[in-house]
Amino acid sequence: MENEKKFNGAVAVNDGSTALTIISWLFGILFFAIGVVNTFWGNDALFGVFIILLSLIYFVPVNDILRKIAGFSIPRMRLVKILVGLFIIWAAMGVGELPDKVEMMMNDL
């Protein structure tokens, strides 16, 4: 009972997932932005679209849709999210040459 808070008659349970949800959203926004930069600057728009699609697993509403359609959810698979995040960072920094594309983007603005 010590982890419960009353809100207008409803009970909200503090299960510690709020911080994980915020972190997931932050990484989703970061990876989405990496995908947008790769889509519009540089020579490989499909790579950027691929990164944008991968970034969607970090957004909570997408996980809810996945749970309803496919019957499974990514939040329970934290290892998958970590591995996808490492792949996105590796691909964007190495193969995707993200710093060069950010410089091109800043020169265009």
Could you list the residue range(s) of the whole structural domain that residue 72 is in? 4-108
Q: pTM for the full model?
A: 0.74
4-19, pLDDT tens digit by residue? 555 455 554 555 578 8
Q: What's the structural domain count of the chain?
A: 1
Confidence of residue 98 (pLDDT cuts 50, 70, 90): confident
28-83, pLDDT tens digit by residue? 999 999 999 888 887 788 989 999 999 998 888 887 787 888 877 665 678 888 89
Number of residues assigned to the chain: 109
